[in-house]
């Protein structure tokens, strides 16, 4: 499936910047960082608005581990947990995790797919107490729960069984520019219909960033007399999120 490359987006933006402000030094990494930064914002809004699997990332074999010692914060000795494979969007009620499921190895014929075998339900450490008030809700291998603490997902109810791994479906953020595996020539995992919005927002951000230093130059003069007043209107963050043509 052909998709726009990250390099295409970045090069396009650099070309546009050069046409407006040709005397500035613009690093490709800097523009890529802007693209990723604003791309994450648009992508999180896009996912939040739509019931779609387009940006769901499935990791079928995330190993379950048990920490041998406490390591504050968030690592608690003796509790089964997994480490999130990537950064995820921090939606309400840990909505960045679409599902977590586990299965025990078995040669079951005609059974549902393995990933629907035992699905974990989300909870929080403070809510767990209530679960034990009800026989139906208390965590057990057939009714397992998870809660999140930072990059760790703790698993409840599987203390007496020993699955080696879980399957997890998450909504990942775009890889940061510091990620060693980032590839400018890889398809840019971003909604095509929002590329115009992204370009617009990066151009606005770039213009803002490139204009500011001129206004703030320290030339040793203690008076603002004779200084040029910026003629360009800087758009607000709220206006940026709207695709309004008169937003100038």
Partner 1 sequence: MDLSPHNFVSVNEILADVLKIVKDSSFKLNSKGWYTSQIQQALEELSFNTFFNDVNQSFDIPKNLRLEMPKGAFNLQQVYLFNGDECNIQSSVNVYTKRNFINSKSGNGYVARDKYYNDGDRFHTKRAVRDTSSAVNGLSGDLRGPDNLYYCGLQSGVIMFSPNCRNYQKAMLVYTGIMADIGETPVVPQFFRQAVKDFVLVPALETKMTETVGTNAYGHWAGLKRSYEAKKDQPYTGSWFTAEKRAKNLNSKERQDYKEYFTRLNY
Toward partner 1, which CB reaches closer, 123 or 235? 123
Toward partner 1, which CB reaches closer, 99 or 188? 99
Q: Based on the shown chain and the rule CB under 8 A, indicate whether residue 160 belongs to the binding site for partner 1.
A: no
Toward partner 1, which CB reaches closer, 138 or 204? 138
In whole angstroms, the minimum distance from the beta carbon of 95 to partner 1 comes to 8
In whole angstroms, the minimum distance from the beta carbon of 93 to partner 1 comes to 7
Count of residues engaged in binding partner 1, rule: CB under 8 A: 16
In whole angstroms, the minimum distance from the beta carbon of 97 to partner 1 comes to 9
Which residue in the set 4, 65, 117, 121 belongs to the binding site for partner 1 (CB under 8 A)?
A: 121
Binding mask 135-154 for partner 1 (x = CB under 8 A): xxxx----x-x---------
Q: Based on the shown chain and the rule CB under 8 A, indicate whether residue 159 belongs to the binding site for partner 1.
A: no
Q: Based on the shown chain and the rule CB under 8 A, indicate whether residue 188 belongs to the binding site for partner 1.
A: no
Please check whether residue 100 is in contact with residue 116, taking contact to mean a CB–CB distance below 8 angstroms: no
Which residue in the set 5, 128, 131, 203 belongs to the binding site for partner 1 (CB under 8 A)?
A: 131
Tracing tokens 């115009």 back to the chain, one arrives at: 196
Say how far apart CA 146 and CA 154 lie, in whole Å: 5
Toward partner 1, which CB reaches closer, 68 or 93? 93
In whole angstroms, the minimum distance from the beta carbon of 169 to partner 1 comes to 10
**DSSP-derived secondary structure for the chain:** ----BHHHHHHHHHHHHHHH-TTS---HHHHHHHHHHHHHHHHHHHHHH---STTEEEEEEEEPEEBSS-BTTTB-BT-EEEE-SS-B---GGGTTEEEEEE------SSPPPGGGSEE-EE--TTTHHHHTTSTTTS-BTTB-EEEEETTEEEEES-TTS--SEEEEEEEBPPPPTT-TT--TTSB--S-GGGHHHHHHHHHHHHHHHHHHHHHT---S-S--TTPPPP-SPPPPHHHHTS--TT--
In whole angstroms, the minimum distance from the beta carbon of 104 to partner 1 comes to 18
In whole angstroms, the minimum distance from the beta carbon of 150 to partner 1 comes to 20
Residues that bind partner 1 (CB under 8 A): 93, 95, 98-99, 119, 121-123, 131, 134-138, 143, 145
């Amino acid at each position: 499936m052909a998709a726009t490359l990250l390099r295409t987006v970045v090069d396009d933006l650099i070309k546009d910047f050069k046409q407006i402000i040709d005397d500035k030094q613009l690093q490709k990494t800097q523009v890529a960082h802007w693209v990723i930064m604003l791309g994450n914002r648009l992508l999180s809004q896009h996912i939040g608005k739509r019931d779609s699997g387009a940006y769901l990332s499935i990791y079928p074999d995330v190993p379950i581990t048990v920490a041998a010692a406490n390591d504050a914060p968030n690592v608690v000795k003796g509790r089964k947990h997994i480490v999130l494979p990537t950064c995820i969007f921090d939606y309400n009620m840990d909505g960045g995790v679409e599902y977590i499921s586990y299965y025990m190895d078995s040669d079951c014929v005609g059974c549902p797919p393995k990933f629907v075998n035992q699905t974990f339900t989300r909870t929080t450490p403070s809510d767990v107490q209530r679960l034990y008030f009800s026989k139906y809700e208390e965590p057990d291998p057939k009714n397992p729960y998870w809660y999140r603490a930072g990059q760790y997902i703790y698993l409840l109810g599987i203390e007496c069984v020993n699955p080696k791994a879980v399957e997890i479906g998450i909504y990942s953020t775009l890889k940061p520019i510091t990620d060693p595996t980032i590839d400018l020539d890889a398809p840019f995992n971003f909604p095509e219909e929002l590329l115009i919005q992204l370009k617009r927002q990066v151009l606005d951000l770039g213009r803002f960033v490139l204009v500011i230093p001129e206004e703030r130059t320290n030339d040793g003069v203690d008076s603002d007399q004779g200084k040029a007043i910026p003629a360009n209107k800087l758009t607000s963050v709220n206006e940026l999120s709207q695709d309004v043509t008169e937003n100038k």
